[in-house]
């Protein structure tokens, strides 16, 4: 606890992540769990001071939106244009079902595949995650790439370009050098190929939220907002705002985040307000 402020402060590392995202340490406030009861109790300990509330603004599925932008896959872009449940749509596509017939387990599998494509996950990794055979996982991935040919084409072109250049670039042109793409060791080479796929997507998401933070900070520096920026947690920004201004401030932040960078698909930010980091209600 800081003796001057009586609060806990993290340290943000600008270069701690290869994708360009900020990392947090001493303490790491980006790894506070959310899905367990213990995690929820911990989140309730992050409270706003008297007269203030916390405002959380979180990008919705930003990695997949960047993937849609980069790949220009027609089906993926259409899903985001229509505001569909992307995981439900993917399940319907790869299992050849009507969306109404998709089960919870099938949607969960589709979600794992959607993010697996972003992170360069192998059939082996997917089979472990879903508790299915490697052959079944391989079929899921194959079906995905057939149903989303734009993504399949982008994966191949991106890797070819990375091998030719020895690096990959994010939306705003940040470079990650990948000399191990030509490594003789197969496991090292395959790991680097996954990094070549992942970096433009996660790096693009990092570009977007950093631009949003800069734009928000510029306006807040003018002193017109009764708020401060507290945290960046991957795709989420957490603010402390005056109770009376929180609703208007949340709407303003949402607009700035959604306008940070124009993609070929809509960029959506979801805002919540509450007395602590756990008990928050969605801004309507």
pLDDT of 1-10, one tens digit each? 899 988 989 9
Q: Domain span at residue 77? A: 72-198
CB 213 within 8 A of CB 229: yes
pLDDT, residue 86, reads 92
Q: What is the mean pLDDT of residues 145-153?
A: 92
Domain boundary residue, one of 168, 198, 228: 198
Whichever domain contains 23, its CATH number is 3.30.70.370
pLDDT, residue 85, reads 92
pTM: 0.91
How big is the CA angle at 253 (ends 247 and 255), to the nearest 5 degrees? 105
| Same domain (yes/no): 177, 278 | no
Domain annotation covers residue 260:
yes
| Same domain (yes/no): 225, 274 | yes
CB 1 within 8 A of CB 8: yes
| Same domain (yes/no): 234, 179 | no
- Structure tokens, 271: 């805002």
Domain annotation covers residue 254:
yes
Q: What is the pLDDT of residues 2-44, one digit of tens each?
A: 999 889 899 999 888 888 889 999 999 988 888 899 989 999 9
Q: How far apart are CA 124 and CA 135, in angstroms?
A: 9
Domain annotation covers residue 212:
yes
Domain count, the chain: 2
| Same domain (yes/no): 153, 88 | yes
- Structure tokens, 247: 């609703």
Q: What is the pLDDT of residues 44-90, one digit of tens each?
A: 999 999 999 999 999 999 999 999 999 999 999 999 999 999 999 99
Domain boundary residue, one of 198, 216, 250: 198
């Amino acid at each position: 606890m800081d003796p001057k402020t009586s609060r806990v402060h993290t340290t943000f590392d600008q270069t701690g992540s290869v994708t360009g995202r900020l990392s947090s340490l001493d303490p790491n406030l980006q790894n506070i769990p959310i899905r367990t009861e213990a995690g929820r109790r911990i989140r309730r300990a992050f409270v706003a001071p008297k007269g203030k509330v916390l405002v959380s603004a979180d990008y919705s599925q930003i990695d997949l939106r960047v993937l849609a932008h980069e790949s220009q896959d027609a089906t993926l872009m259409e899903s985001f244009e229509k505001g569909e449940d992307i995981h439900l749509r993917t399940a319907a596509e790869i299992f050849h079902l009507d969306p109404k017939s998709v089960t919870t387990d099938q949607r969960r599998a589709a979600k794992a595949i959607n993010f697996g494509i972003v992170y360069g996950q192998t059939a082996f990794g997917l089979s472990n995650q879903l508790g299915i055979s490697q052959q079944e996982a391989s079929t899921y991935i194959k079906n995905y790439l057939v149903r989303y040919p734009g993504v399949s084409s982008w994966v191949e072109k991106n890797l070819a370009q990375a091998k030719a250049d020895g690096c990959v670039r994010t939306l705003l042109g940040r470079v990650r050098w990948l000399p191990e793409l030509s490594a003789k060791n197969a496991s090292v080479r395959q790991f680097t190929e996954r990094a070549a796929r992942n970096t433009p997507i996660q790096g693009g998401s990092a570009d977007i939220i950093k631009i949003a933070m800069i734009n928000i900070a510029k306006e807040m520096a003018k002193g017109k907002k009764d708020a401060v920026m507290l945290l960046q947690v991957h795709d989420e920004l957490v603010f402390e705002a005056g109770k009376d201004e929180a609703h208007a401030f949340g709407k303003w932040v949402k607009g700035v985040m959604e306008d940070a960078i124009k993609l070929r698909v809509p960029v959506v930010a979801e805002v919540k307000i509450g007395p602590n980091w756990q008990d928050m209600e969605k801004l309507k």
